[in-house]
Amino acid sequence: MGGLLHDIGRLILFKQAPRHMAAAMRLALDDRQPLALAEQEILGFDHAALGGLLLHKWEFPVHLEAMVSDHHALREGSGREAAAVIHLADVLANAMAWGGSGSRYTPPLDAAAWALVNLGGAALSALLPAMEASLGETMSDFFPETGGRP
C-alpha cells in the first residue's frame, strides 16, 4: 500500500499547482537534480511531506503516513523500516527507468535506508531480474494489446 501511495502528493501538486510543478521540473532539469529537491526549492516542501499530510487528514494508519512522508528523508520513529523499503524501491525504479513520476534524475540512496533494509549488493543483483520479469507481467496484464507497453 505504501508503494502505491508514496507519490500521491506529487499527483496532487501536478493537479493543483501545475505552474509551480512546471517551474520545479525546469529547475530539476537545469540543475540535474531529483524533482523532490526542486520541489523543496520552489514550494518550500516536497510531495512526500504533502502526501503524509494528506494521509493524516484522510485518517490512514500512522505507519502508512510515515512511509509516504519519509520515503525521501527517513526520520526516527514508527514506520522507519517500511519507509526505508519504499525509499529503496523508489531509487531502484528511478535508476532502472521503470515508469516515472516526473523526475528525470534518480534520488540519492540514503545510507540509513540501505542499512535498515540490510540487503547486500549480491542479493540486490539477484533480485533485479525477478523484479523486471514481474513488472513485465504486470504491464502485460494492463496493456495486453501492446505487449505490455503503454
Query: For 41-89, what is each residue's pLDDT tens digit?
Result: 999 999 999 999 999 999 999 889 988 998 888 877 667 888 888 888 8
For residues 23 and 138, the model is more confident at 23
Is it the case that residue 103 has pLDDT exceeding 90?
no
Confidence grade of residue 12 (pLDDT, cut at 50, 70, 90)? very high
**25 with 17: CB under 8 angstroms?**
no
Q: pTM of this prediction?
A: 0.79
The topology under which CATH files domain 2-108 is Hypothetical protein af1432 (1.10.3210)
Cell of 84: 526505508
